[in-house]
Structure formats: structure tokens, C-alpha cells
Structure 1
Amino acid sequence: MVSRSVSFVPSPRSGNFLFKILAVVAIATTAFLAESVTAEAEAANPKYAGIVVDAKTGNVLYSENSDRLQYPASLTKMMTLYMVFEALEQGRIRLDTRVPFSAHASAQAPTKLGVKAGNSITVEQGILGLVTLSANDAATALGELLGGSEDRFGQMMTAKAHALGMTRTTYRNANGLPNTAQMTTARDQARLGIALRQHFPQYYAYFSTRSFKFGNRIIRSHNRLVGSVRGVDGIKTGYTRAAGFNLVSSVQVDGKSIVGVVMGGTSTPARDSQMRKLIAAYLPKASTRGGSNLIAEKAPTPAADASVATADVDLPHKGPTPDTRYEVASAAVAYTDSPAQSSENPLVAQQKPEIPAPTKVKTTSFKQASVAVPSPAPAYMPPEQAASDPVDAVTTASVAPQPAAAKRVLSAEQEPSGWVVQIGVSSSRDMAMDLLEKAKSKGGKALRSAKPFAVAYSNGGDQIYRARFGGFDDQREAVNACNALKRTGVKCWASAQ
């Protein structure tokens, strides 16, 4: 077919149309065969590791060297963004918060935005810089904003990874530039990919950004599968010479949802071809039914000593996944991109130097117990942000902390004990109660016995009112009520009084 189409020479009166058809078929066939050969060669690459997980059930549909330690390269920025999204959700920063660039951040190797030391960008510009250009300087600046220093932010990232069940992952920097101690596994990166979409649905859409304007530049995404493969909505590419070409992809099509990871690729085309092959092979095997709380995370216990070595924490090896990510917390604290069935829990990352690599494991459960690990408190909290309590920066994915600088001055009425659901803040009690009345009409039976009330706080001399529902006996009731509100478009969070 290919040779005929290439040698076919139409007469002036005959089939120009037929010639075009044959030429198109030849090109398509050649491309398909080349991609198949490339993907097969990639799977035979000794540095290769891959995994595909059904994001609805947690079943591992495919696994190859998925527990082998590898360098994450710019996949590191997925965790940096997780930390940024969490800070946004908790109200510690906003999308328009300025991110200062230190000399250290500005000196990071390309690719980068090129912001000079002493200048700043917004948090949102930083997010966009990470998901499109994979900007190393922006990642470092965001890490310094949240952690106070790169080293401390690395500790925070590692603690968060372990809390998410990524027990074989260690972070040392925010951008993924070479560091021999910064290691992860394909399985851990799949877990992080699922957690990002599950825990932060209001921010996850950033990962599908294909370009954004920064100054006079139009910055386009390195992720070539977004927009070219049906259903791919992110997540992240990565490359260093030591790591090879890495990619985490999330796919949602026709009620099915998978997350795939390819690590150690030999080139961008080879890596992308392998991911296309995995999506084509395993998306049809994914389930249309299943839960949405696969990655449960406990609120971190604040460390008495912020320098605690998180690598020494004794993590449980297996156990059931809690129903939701909500947990009662006694104290909440606030690489460059370039040219088998088993009853054992497969997410268990055994604390051993080497783990035998499973081969093409199918329908293995992806669930694992969540753990609580020490996490240093952020070193930076802008004073103008500390007392803020954003209306929309919350999801069912976390338990809300009380902003430390917001001082309660009075209760508009007697506060109910137990768990509460907060839906927003307002400048007056009447407006807060109006919000509650509208929300209750949408909440149905989940809010039938809930008591609406407004709590007044002092915010830098101004008085704000938090609109809340109370009267929930336990965590589950509060979470269910919040989920009912979210299904109607009302954002909320649940917390213990």
C-alpha cells in the first residue's frame, strides 16, 4: 500500500483525487507503524518505567518497573503546585499574591521566566509558568514563598508526599533540577496525579492550559498530548539527562478516567508515543463506576521541631483508605523540559533499597492508608492574607484551618457544637445569613436539620462574618452536607468546632 501510493503517477486527466487519497493513506499508515515501533522500543528501554491506574476504582491496569526509584525531573513541579493549591485553599495566599524572586530563584537554570532578582510575579502567573513552560525560577520562588527557603520547602514537600502515601518519594527542591537525593517512582507519581485532580478540582484546570501571555511573550505548553489526544486534560512533562523523558497524563473520556505515567523515555516522541499506546490500550479497560476519594490525606501534625527529619518517620505499610480526605486534626497548620492479581496492597512502598518490579499487573487495588507525618509550618504568610477567608477557595478535599490572624470578636448567636460547614464570608451579618438561606434551599435533606449562623471576626480592623451551618454530630454528616452543596455549585468546607 505504501509503495504503490508513492509510485503512483496520475495522468493529467485521471485521478488527482485518487492520488491524494492514496498519499494520505500512505502517510497515515507510515506514521502509525513508526509510532508502534517507537512505543515498543520505548517499553524495552532499560530506564523505562510506567503505570496506568483506573482513577475511579484504583485498579492498576498496567505496571512496568513502577516501584523502581527514578529521578522525577520536572514532575517535581506537580508537588510544588499541590502545595500552592493547598495554600490557596487554606487562604494563606491568593492568586494575586505577589511572589518575590530572590537571587537564588532568579539564578535557576532554564527553562525559566527570566524574572530578575528583586522583581515579582503573581501566584497565578507562577502557576501558569509551571504548567506550560515548566519554569524553574518560578518554581523556586513559589517554594521560597511557602517554605521560607528551598531546603525547608523540600522538607514540606517530602512530608506531604508521605502523607499522600508516596512513601518512596523524597524532594530536595521545588523544580526538579538535578539532585541525586531527589527520587520517586512511577507509582508515586500516579498517586500524586490522582490527588491533584481529586483534591483541587477548582484549580486542576490549570494543567490543561496550552499557552499564556507573559509580558510580550506567548508561552506555549510543553505537553503535546493536551489538545491532540482525546480526553487528555494534563498533567506534566519532565526531562533531565539523568531522568530521561517523563510524562504524567490524565484522561477522562465517556465516564472513564485513568492516570498514566511514563518515566525514563529516550526522547519526547518516544515518550509521547508510549503514552498514546498506553491510553489506547487501557482506557477501554477502565471502569465507568467507582468512588472519587482514592487518595486520602490526613491533616499533618505540626512538628515541635521544624527541622525534624521526615525521612525517619515510621510509616504504616498497608491498610484501608478512609472514605474521604477529611480527618479531625487536633491542630491544623497552616527539570527542565527540553529536547497480576494480588491481595497485597500495590501502593505499599516497602522501605527497602530495591523492590522487585512487577510486570504488567492487572486489576490490582491502588488504595492505601493515609498517614500523618510532621510538616514544618510555612515560614511566610503575607499579613494582608493571614486574616482573609476566601469564599470560593475550598473544596471537599480538605479540612479548613482557622486563619491565625483573624480574631473572633463576637458570635452573632450561640454557636452550635460539633462539626460545621462554612460556605463563605461577608461584610455584614445580613448578607451572611442571606447566603446561608439560599444555600439551604439548595442543600435538600442534607441540610434539613442544620442550623445557619454567622460568626463575626476582626480582620485588620474590619469586621467580617463567616457564614456557617452547624448542628452536625460527626464528620461524616458535615462532609455529606458539604458534598450535597457542591453538587449544586455551592463551594464549602467542613471543619470541627
Structure 2
Amino acid sequence: MDTLRGLFVTIVIILSGLMAADGYADTRRYAAFVADANTGEILHSRLADAQRYPASLTKMMTLYLLFEAIEAGDLSLTDTLTASRIAASQQPSNLNLSQGDTITVETAIRALVIKSANDVAVMVAEELATTERAFAVEMTARARDLGLANTTFRNASGLPNSRQVTTARDMARLTLALRRDFPQYMHYFTERSFTHNGRTYRSHNNLVGRVDGVDGMKTGYIRASGFNIATTAMRDGHRLVAVVMGGPTAAYRDAHAEQLIDAAYRSLENREALIVAARDLTPRLNPIREQDIIATQIAALDLSPPVAQGDGETLPPLQIEMTDDMGTPSGTAARTEPQDLPPAGWSVQVGAYTDEAAARARLETVRELASELAEASMYTPRFDSNGRTLFRARFTGVDAGRARAVCARLAARDEPCFAVAPGG
């Protein structure tokens, strides 16, 4: 019992540190979101769905469409882009290009990632859609396809526009979409500098190379947004995505993002240790009786009732599954559905679990929350991730509009949810 109490105290200290740090943030601009990229589990969420200005995080979507064009064969890394009068007139940050200047597509990628060049963002927009306005329409449409239900783009750079808005949760989704869909280009996000016309430009992302496991993505700033960052990290097989928006300074933003990442990893480690400790409290018994005893002992700690994982003001919930000898949740009939053929249409993914029965149980729970999924099929495909076998919890056979609408509604409740395109 003392072991359990000690681990809970540790978690309380970790989360108290997060709350103290957040207290200094400007809540009119501040938002933060941290999730386990492997499972979609929310580890920290503060104002994650509040409307915010993306600033240069916008360029992640510009890069997403540029990468799509390259993969489609419409452009190559060695093709050249030409600066128009409009592109050359963009205010800093920029490469200080003049009308008629040219750069390669690969230089454009580095200029967007490292320098966050606004003139280059317009060059890409005009190359892909003739005008920046038309490109912004494409950006917003693609955002909807990716499940960014609360994001609207009006330009390719992130320069001030009162109607260009997003949320911390949407920026996390975009960050993960980039890494998922274009792993071949992720090395650009780890580069610390690049040289153009004899001048070396250094990255604004100071977490890469300094914070353990951090390997991208993008920073941003305008006066209306404060200092923003979206980043990913990998430690011990766990990939996290973290977004901080509205930092009063770049140094504060970086320190707070580092603190969130470190605390999230410590929370995961302590929670795993807690589960191990709970399992060691009693001799081996019949699985149902064993879980009854563990649940009784943990209840005796007089903890607050568990809440959604994303609630930053409470402990992450300890989930104890009542299982029978076959590993099926008690009182839940095992459902067998064909797993050998991928389903047609769009899917809604609501988690990934080490146990297939747990994935099915999650699907049953979500079906109660979302009546739109009443007729959808439940699908639990197996996959391997960093040496572990996991089972995705998915509803299949839905259309794109329904998938995005369901995820938007579940996301508003801090429930993990991703709309998955056919073949995804």
C-alpha cells in the first residue's frame, strides 16, 4: 500500500508543477495539448479547443500540400520556384527575395521549416494554386479531410488575419499527419540551419537537439498569437505530440513545452509502475478475484473519482479491467468480426490497445456516446508498433462527413478520435 501511495504522490507533484507553470500564461492566447501519438491518449489538455491564431504553424499545412505535390509527381526537389511581385513584398521573416528570383523546391522546404520565410510560403502557394487566396481555400479543405474541424486558413504563411484560426488540438493533429503521411521528409525538421546565397539561417526550434527525443516540428509568432510551438518526441517506444500556444516569450514557450514533454513521459512511467505495483499486492489468484482485491485496495486510498485523461487538474485515471480467464471483459460477450480484409469507406479510430478485448470494450463505450455509429461495424485490426502488438479500435463503413463530425463531437469531450481515410 505504501508503494501505491508513494507513486500517487509523485504523480501529484508532476501535475502540480504543470499547473503552476500554466498559471503564468496569458489565458487569452494560451493553450496546450499533449497526446500519446501511438494510442491517441490525451495526457494533458488546457484550452485545447479554444480559438487561437496559428501564426507560422500555418506553414505546416503549406508544407503538407507541397509534399503531396511532390509525391504526386507535380514537382520535384530540383524544380525551381520564381518569386512574384506579391511574394517578394512579404514582410519578415523572409529570404529577402526580389521579383524574378528563383529557388529550388528543396530550398523552399528548408526556408519554410528553418527560416519560416513568408515570401517562400507565397511562392509555394502561387505555384500550386496560382494565387495565395485559392491556395488558402485548398488548405482549409485539406484541413477538413485531416480532421481539423476548427481550423480555417486565409493565407499560406500565418501572417496576421483575424479569420485565420485554429486550436491546439488541431495543430497536434496536423503535426501527426505530417509525420504519418510524409516520413521521408521528416529529416528537414531536424536540421538546425541551412545556407542560401552565402547566408546561413538558423532554426527557431530550440528543442531539437536539446530536449531528449524531440525531432520536430515548427514554431510560430505574431503579436496576436504569442509564441507557439508544435513538436514531436520519441522515448522508449512512446511517441508524443505536444503543442503550446500563446507563450509570452520564446524562452517561456520552449521551457514550458519541455516541461510538458518531460512530465508526460514521467507520468507514463509512473502509471506503468503503479499497475505493476498493484499486481504485486496479492498472491496469484483467479483473475476475477485478483482484480476485485486490487480494486478494493485502490479504492481505499480515497482518491478523487477518475475523470477524462485530458483533464489537467486531476490525476490520470487508473483503469482496471475486470477480465475472465479468457481475457474478455466481464459481462461483455466476445464479438467476432472478420479481420482479414480491410473495410471499405472511412473509419473512425478511438484508440489502440494491447488487448483486443479492451479495444472491443472501448468501441462499445464510444457507441453509447455517439449514436451516429450505431450501425457502423466494429473493427479491431492488429498491428505492431515499436516491438509491441496493438489492436486499433475502429468503427468502419462510414462516410467522410460522418467520420469528421463524430470526431469533432468526441474531441469536444476530450475523447481521442481520428477520422481515417479509405486505405489508412
TM-score range, shorter chain: 0.5 to 0.7
TM-superposed CA distance for 1:350, in Å, is 5.2
**Deviation for aligned residue 1:119:** 1.4
Aligned to 2:158: 176
Distance 1:185 1:36 in 2: 20
Name the counterpart of 2:113.
Answer: 131
In structure 2, the CA distance between the partners of 1:317 and 1:249, relative to structure 1 (3 Å rule), is: farther
Of the two, which has the highest radius of gyration? 1
Distance 1:237 1:252, change over 3 A: same
Note the aligned Cα RMSD (angstroms): 3.4
Aligned residue among 335, 345, 349 for 2:408: 349
The aligned counterpart of 2:36 is 54
Name the structure 2 match of 1:155: 137
Task: Specify which of 253, 256, 262 is matched with residue 271 of structure 1.
Answer: 253
SS in 1 for 2:81: strand
- For this pair of structures, how many residues does the alignment match? 290
- Give the corresponding residue for 2:100: 118
CA contact (8 A) 1:42 1:271 kept: no
The match for 2:321 is none
The one of 226, 237, 240 aligned to 1:258 = 240
CA distance in 1 between partners of 2:22 and 2:35 (Å):
20
Give the match for residue 249 of structure 1.
231
Q: Is the contact made by 2:62 and 2:139 (CA closer than 8 Å) also made in structure 1?
A: yes
Mapping 1:226-241, distance limit 5 Å: 226-241=208-223
Hey, what's the Cα distance between the residues in 2 that align with 1:196 and 1:114?
A: 27
Classify the secondary structure of the residue corresponding to 2:256.
helix
User: Could you say if the C-alpha distance between residues 42 and 192 of structure 1 is closer, same or farther in structure 2, counting changes exceeding 3 Å?
Assistant: farther
Change (3 A) 1:365 1:41: closer
1:366 corresponds in structure 2 to: 416
Distance in 1 between the 2:52 and 2:415 partners? 23
* SS in structure 2 of the partner of residue 96 of structure 1: coil
- Distance in 1 separating the partners of 2:60 and 2:257: 18
Structure 1 residues 49-448: aligned runs within 5 Å:
49-286=31-268, 348-349=407-408, 365-370=415-420
CA deviation profile, 1:14-36 (whole Å, cap 9, x unmatched):
xxxxxxxxxxxxxxxxxxxxx98
Q: CA deviation at 1:349?
A: 3.1
Q: Tell me if the contact between 2:81 and 2:105 (Cα under 8 Å) persists in the aligned partners.
A: yes
Cα distance in 1 between the residues matched to 2:68 and 2:231 = 21
What is the Cα deviation at residue 122 of structure 1? 0.5
Distance 1:317 1:51 in 2: 27
- In structure 1, C-alpha distance between the alignment counterparts of 2:263 and 2:415, rounded to whole Å: 19
Secondary structure of 1:270's counterpart equals helix
Give the Cα–Cα distance (whole angstroms) in 2 for the partners of residues 221 and 92 of structure 1. Answer: 28
- Change in 2 beyond 3 A, CA 1:272/1:64: same
Shift of 1:246: 0.5
Matches of 1:222 and 1:272, distance apart in 2: 10
**Does structure 2 conserve the Cα–Cα contact (< 8 Å) formed by 1:42 and 1:48?**
no
Instruction: Measure how far apart 1:366 and its partner are.
Output: 2.5
- Asked if the contact 1:163/1:370 (under 8 Å) is kept, the reply is no
AA paired with 1:72? P
Alpha-carbon distance, 1:254 to partner: 1.6
CA distance in 1, matches of 2:108, 2:23: 36
Residue 317 to residue 53, structure 1, CA distance change in 2 (3 Å) = farther
The letter for the 2-side match of 1:97 is: D
Q: Say which SS state the counterpart of residue 408 (structure 2) adopts.
A: coil
Q: Distance in 1 between matches of 2:169 and 2:160?
A: 21
Q: Quote how far apart the aligned CAs of 1:40 are.
A: 4.0
SS in 2 for 1:115: coil
Q: Is the 8 A contact 1:54 1:286 kept in 2?
A: no
Matches of 1:219 and 1:117, distance apart in 2:
21
So what's the TM-score if we normalise by structure 1?
0.53
Residue 41 of structure 1 deviates from its aligned partner by 4.0
Letter in 1 for 2:114: T
SS of aligned partner of 1:178: coil
The Cα of 1:197 is off from its aligned counterpart by 0.4
Amino acid at match of 1:231: G
In structure 2, what is the Cα distance between the partners aligned to 1:84 and 1:257? 25
Distance 1:317 1:123 in 2: 46
Change beyond 3 A, Cα 1:124–1:286: farther
Identity, in percent, stands at 43
Evaluate the alpha carbon distance shift between residue 317 and residue 270 of structure 1 in structure 2; reply closer, same or farther with a 3 A threshold.
Answer: farther
Asked if the contact 1:317–1:348 (Cα under 8 Å) also holds between the matched residues in 2, the reply is no
Give the CA deviation at 1:46. Answer: 3.8
Structure 1: stretches of 5+ with no match in the other structure: 1-34, 290-296, 299-315, 329-344, 359-363, 372-398, 400-474, 480-497
**Structure 1 residues 172 and 218: alpha-carbon distance in aligned structure 2, compared to 1, 3 A threshold:** same
Q: Find the aligned partners of 2:101 and 2:409 in 1 and give their Cα distance.
A: 44
In structure 2, relative to structure 1, the CA distance for the partners of 1:180 and 1:40 (3 Å cut) is closer
The verdict on how the C-alpha distance between 1:271 and 1:108 changes in structure 2, with shifts beyond 3 A counting, is same
| Structure 2 gap segments, 5+ residues each | 1-16, 273-344, 347-369, 382-391, 398-403
CA distance in 1, matches of 2:57, 2:222: 11
Counterpart contact for 1:58–1:365, Cα < 8 Å? no
* Distance in 1 between residues matched to 2:211 and 2:89, nearest whole Å: 36
For 1:133-160, what per-residue CA distance to the aligned partner results, in whole angstroms no more than 9, with x for missing partners?
Answer: 1000001101111111101100000000
On the 8 A contact 1:132/1:222 being kept in 2, the answer is: yes
1:114 and 1:53 mapped to 2: Cα distance? 37
1:137/1:286 CA distance change after superposition, 3 Å: farther
Q: Residues 176 and 199 of structure 1: is their aligned pair in 2 closer, same or farther, counting only changes over 3 Å?
A: same
Letter in 1 for 2:222: T
| CA distance in 2 between partners of 1:317 and 1:223 (Å) | 43
